[in-house]
Structure 1
Amino acid sequence: MPAFAGSAAGPPLADSYYALLRRRRGGADEAGAYATSTVPSDDDVPVAECELPMIDVGCLTSDDGCSSEAERAACTAAIARAAEEWGFFQVRNHGVSQALLDAMRREQARLFRLPFEAKATAGLLNDSYRWGTPTATSPQQLSWSEAFHVPLAGVSGSAAGGTCNFGELTTLRSRSSHDRADVAVCRDVTREVAGAMSKLAGTLARVLAEAVLGRGRPAAGERFPEGCDETTCFLRLNRYPPCPISADAFGLVPHTDSDFLTVLCQDQQVGGLQLMKGARWVAVKPIPGALIVNIGDLFQAWSNNRYKSVEHKVMTNAKTERYSVAYFLCPSYDSPIGTCEEPSLYRTFTFGEYRRKVQEDVKRTGKKVGLPNFLV
């Protein structure tokens, strides 16, 4: 795979970390603490490994459907209970084939092996490449990772002009026809994964709304959540390179997701995902064949805090790279985010307003504030 290989493929993550460490040492008196540990741990207690609630959703995703109303009700109740108690759960018989996920893993690996300059400047995947945290002012804010955060409006061909920009034409012209075919394969696999995860996310979102409102209510119907379709959601392809600086560095800084629902295929061999449970970080054990689902901020607001958008992070691995794929169920920027009942704990806001406020807070303080900004 010569087109996807190159000694200069890695993003300048180490340069960013060292620059932050040098700046820190030149400022605060306690800077020497960072000489042996890049990111201070929350405490000295080892992180316990957990198994998230596992739910068989085959009765919701299969063509045959549930064999009875009782089976469907039990599945709905299990999903809602996990969303309330954990904010995270795992699903099996989810309708996203393992062969498709394996193909996505291969295409990710090829894509991330491109030279860094090509990933950063060639407009690949609708110019969606991101690396590290360029705005970080301390090691605690730096993510040791690279990603393509792909708007599905482009992947589905719904962007302006109806085309999917997987790379500047000048870049593609310089490659062989075989290489251009590789890009086309990546595009097609990405579209297929997005479509399969979109179907699953929509099904789970409607079931969660049904658990709150009761089956047959309009907001729990086929269009929930309003404003979400194939043009408004995102697919994020993540790579976490081996981290030679510290096993305690963040692959992805602690955060909550700013969407309704996230569907994640994490690396099934290499762990790293951790979530907050009972004021403690717990590590999520990888389960082959399972997908992870978590509640986002918008669903917590809509459910009036019944469902929990839980803080989570990714830790690095000193020797092994890690890949994951995440689907984000997002509405259009002008979609109002209401609540399922009154009195509401939150004032009405749009998704665009929420995103802008998150970006302002991160720029000003270095961290996300999120839903507390919109409490009544």
Structure 2
Amino acid sequence: MEKFPVVDMKNLNTEEKASTMEIIKDACENWGFFELVNHGISIELMDTVEKLTKENYKKLMEQRFKEMVASKGLEFPQSEINDLDWESTFFLRHLPNSNISEIPDLDDHYRNVMKEFAMELEKLAELLLDLLCENLGLEKGYLKKVFHGSKGPNFGTKVSNYPPCPKPELIKGLRAHTDAGGIILLFQDDKVGGLQLLKDGQWIDVPPMHHSIVINLGDQLEVISNGKYKSVMHRVIAQTDGNRMSIASFYNPGNDAVIFPAPTLVKELDETSQVYPKFVFDDYMKLYADLKFQAKEPRFEAMKVMESNIPTTTT
């Protein structure tokens, strides 16, 4: 079994930079996932985020989840359930406008800690985008500029808990999908696993590591890289015991950002090689809302049909 790619970011400032960039390149091309250590976000902050997130679940969400399970008769399902996920979630929006102050029931300390964590993740996302530019041979800032649109990128966090599940063979924690957006930064539980990615037809565990940040690539980076980088199917397997925490932050293009393969990456092949469409990100998201748990290729095909609606003056 190939070893899951782990990137030690402190090596980017040493003579090991070239080999570290090669690990990132291989991960983007062949895994769609990698795990960061020494990423610059303080351990103290991460520990506080974890503590407060778990306390918030216990205080506000655990009982609601149990009531939902009871109302849907999910305590002991008899057959496979394919239309919902065994997870308890809420969403925080950071950019272009924050909604953290509007989320009900969160205490002020937790709000402030999540704001601080989001700022650190935003910086890390933008650093990673420039590292991807370097590996792709794109000018520094290219991806950030494409993502910007007219109002800046969309950046938000899905805070999830995956409680103990009596029948994990019949109901997924989260059904298999690729992520629609740009670059995803995940702070996951280091004791309770369950996240898996599909590689070469096999489901592979994403190893829980203390204080790491898991990175995966969304559909938009596959399009912009003209298929050099891939978004991959992943899922969460529910566990019979242990409550898995998952804090996934999505650094995505702005709603009106126009997404298309980087011209230099198309020319590298030949003029007929472009297989990915040009589209407005918000149009893709509207389509994705109904097709999240299906293959991505038909989504790309559907976007090709809409290409003629995009002004030719857009570059």
TM above 0.5, yes or no, is yes
Deviations 1:120-172 (CA, angstroms, capped at 9, x unpaired): 9xxxxxxxxx99xx9xxx71232100111211148xxx359xx82132xxxx7
What's the offset of the Cα at 1:280? 0.9
Match of 1:31? none
Q: Which secondary structure state, in structure 2, belongs to the residue aligned with residue 328 of structure 1?
A: strand
- Listed as ranges, the gaps of 5+ residues in structure 2 are 73-79, 305-315
Q: Do the aligned residues in 1 keep the contact of 2:177 with 2:295 (CA within 8 Å)? A: no
Match of 1:209? 133
- Listed as ranges, the gaps of 5+ residues in structure 1 are 1-47, 61-65, 121-129, 173-181
Match of 2:18? 73
- 1:191-202 correspondence to structure 2 within 5 Å: 191-202=115-126
Q: Do the aligned residues in 1 keep the contact of 2:46 with 2:211 (CA within 8 Å)? A: no
The structure number with the bigger radius of gyration is 1
Match of 1:140? 82
Match of 2:290? 360
- Describe the shift of the 1:229–1:251 C-alpha distance in structure 2 as closer, same or farther (beyond 3 A): farther
Match of 1:13? none
Question: What CA distance in whole angstroms lies between the structure 2 residues aligned with 1:356 and 1:203?
Answer: 28
Deviations 1:161-189 (CA, angstroms, capped at 9, x unpaired): xx82132xxxx7xxxxxxxxx71101011
- 1:18-29 correspondence to structure 2 within 5 Å: none
Match of 2:309? none
**Mean CA deviation greater in 341-350 or 76-85:** 341-350
Q: Do the aligned residues in 2 keep the contact of 1:274 with 1:281 (CA within 8 Å)? A: yes
Query: Percent of counterpart pairs with the same letter?
Result: 28
Q: Do the aligned residues in 1 keep the contact of 2:288 with 2:299 (CA within 8 Å)? A: no
What's the offset of the Cα at 1:224? 5.8
Question: What CA distance in whole angstroms lies between the structure 1 residues aligned with 2:46 and 2:152?
Answer: 19
Q: Which secondary structure state, in structure 2, belongs to the residue aligned with residue 287 of structure 1?
A: coil
What's the offset of the Cα at 1:51? 4.6
Q: Do the aligned residues in 1 keep the contact of 2:192 with 2:244 (CA within 8 Å)? A: yes
- Whether 1:93 aligns to 2:38 is yes
Q: Which secondary structure state, in structure 2, belongs to the residue aligned with residue 141 of structure 1?
A: coil
TM-score normalised by L of structure 2: 0.80
- 1:98-247 correspondence to structure 2 within 5 Å: 98-116=43-61, 139-153=81-95, 158-159=97-98, 164-167=101-104, 183-214=107-138, 216=139, 219=142, 223=145, 225-227=147-149, 232-247=154-169
Deviations 1:298-351 (CA, angstroms, capped at 9, x unpaired): 101110111110100001111211101111111211111111133422221111
Task: Look up the equivalent residue of 1:266 and give its one-letter code.
Answer: Q
2:181 to 254, 259, 277: 259
Q: Do the aligned residues in 1 keep the contact of 2:153 with 2:252 (CA within 8 Å)? A: no
Match of 1:305? 227
Question: What CA distance in whole angstroms lies between the structure 2 residues aligned with 1:86 and 1:140?
Answer: 26
- Whether 1:335 aligns to 2:257 is yes
- Cα RMSD for the two superposed structures: 3.0
